[in-house]
Structure 1
Amino acid sequence: MNYTELLSSISRTADGTHRTNIPETWMQGRTAYGGLTAALCLEAARSLAPGLPARAAQIAFVGPVNGEVTCKAEVLRQGKNTVFVSVRMTGADGVLAEAIMTFGAPRQSSIDLVDLPAPELPAPEDVPPYFRNHQGPAFAQNFDMLIAGGTPPISGADKADVSIWMRHKDPATPMDATSLLALADAPPPAAMAMFREPGRISSMTWMAEFLTEDIETQDRWFLARHVAQTARNGYSSQEMLLWNKQRQPIMVGRQTIAVFV
Structure 2
Amino acid sequence: MTPFSSVMTLDAVADGFAAHVPGDWLQGRTTYGGLSAALCVEAAGRAFGGLPPLRSAQFAFAGPASGGLRIETRVLRQGKSSVFAGVDLFGEEGLATRALLCFAAERESALAYENLAPPAVPGPEVCSPILAGGPVPAFMRHFDFRQAGGHAPVSGSAEPHYMFWIRHRDDPVAATPAACLALADAAPPTAMAMFNAFAPVSTMTWTVDFAGELFAGGLEWCLLESRAERVRGGYSRQSTRIWRADGTPLLLASQCVAVFV
Taking the aligned partners of 1:135 and 1:43, their CA distance within structure 2 comes to: 30
Taking the aligned partners of 2:219 and 2:77, their CA distance within structure 1 comes to: 37
Q: Which residue matches 2:40?
A: 41
Q: Which residue matches 2:19?
A: 20
Give the match's secondary structure for 1:237: strand
List gaps (5 residues or longer) in structure 1: none
Q: Which residue matches 1:221?
A: 221
Q: Which range is displaced more, 178-187 or 109-118?
A: 109-118
CA contact (8 A) 1:49 1:83 kept: no
User: Within 5 Å, which residues of 2 pair with 1:49-128?
Assistant: 50-128=50-128
Taking the aligned partners of 2:94 and 2:127, their CA distance within structure 1 comes to: 43
Number of aligned residue pairs? 259
Judged with a 3 Å threshold, the aligned counterparts in structure 2 of structure 1 residues 252 and 236 are, in CA distance, closer, same or farther, namely same
List gaps (5 residues or longer) in structure 2: none
Judged with a 3 Å threshold, the aligned counterparts in structure 2 of structure 1 residues 167 and 217 are, in CA distance, closer, same or farther, namely farther
Taking the aligned partners of 1:81 and 1:51, their CA distance within structure 2 comes to: 10
Taking the aligned partners of 1:66 and 1:50, their CA distance within structure 2 comes to: 31
Taking the aligned partners of 2:84 and 2:29, their CA distance within structure 1 comes to: 31
Aligned-CA RMSD value: 1.6
Residue identity matched to 1:208: V
Q: Which range is displaced more, 55-64 or 107-116?
A: 107-116
Judged with a 3 Å threshold, the aligned counterparts in structure 2 of structure 1 residues 192 and 185 are, in CA distance, closer, same or farther, namely same
Which whole-Å deviations, capped at 9, do the CAs of 1:73-94 have from their partners, x for residues lacking one?
Answer: 1000000110000011112101
Judged with a 3 Å threshold, the aligned counterparts in structure 2 of structure 1 residues 16 and 212 are, in CA distance, closer, same or farther, namely farther
Q: Which residue matches 2:180?
A: 180
Taking the aligned partners of 1:32 and 1:247, their CA distance within structure 2 comes to: 31
Indicate the percent of aligned positions where both proteins have the same amino acid: 37
Give the match's secondary structure for 2:252: strand
User: Within 5 Å, which residues of 2 pair with 1:189-208?
Assistant: 189-208=189-208
Q: Which residue matches 1:32?
A: 31
Taking the aligned partners of 1:110 and 1:12, their CA distance within structure 2 comes to: 43
Task: Tell me the TM-score normalized by structure 1.
Answer: 0.95
Residues 1:235 and 2:201 are matched in the alignment: no
CA contact (8 A) 1:215 1:250 kept: no
